Structure 1
Amino acid sequence: MNNDAVKTKVNLSMKMFSFLQVGKKQVHFADTSIAVSKEQSLLIKKGNSLWTELLDIENDYYCKLLFFSESKL
């Protein structure tokens, strides 16, 4: 990994599954922080969070996101 990182403040209006494919991701909430690798997936509830996406030197960052509402669950 290199030192390139993209930080994004996010306010989700729906729940979301995050399936990381390439790179590393950190998700920061008001009371905790979670590091995610490509071997893991993440379920995030709606609301505010801060994402830090760490970029790989040899590959682009790639993450599949699936958004859904409570009624569709």
Structure 2
Amino acid sequence: MLGILSIVLGLLFPIVGLILGIIGLVLAFSYQKESGLDYKTEKILNIIGLVVSVLNWIVAVAVFFRIVAVAVFFR
């Protein structure tokens, strides 16, 4: 569940998606140790959520600096 939320919120709010992805990965590893079951899907979804969040964060920072550069150039 946290993996899906991490992907969706990673597109809208990268910091929230990043936090949920990390929490989801930690929980998936701890549940796997407790039960012995494989939580492969949960791990994959959380990793995808982390990647989406980081990429969205990088794009947001790049767009911000691009806007600042254009504003300074046309001043």
Global fold match (TM > 0.5): no
Structure with the bigger percentage of strand: 1
Q: Normalized against structure 2, the TM-score is what? A: 0.23
Q: Normalized against structure 1, the TM-score is what? A: 0.24
Structure with the bigger percentage of helix: 2
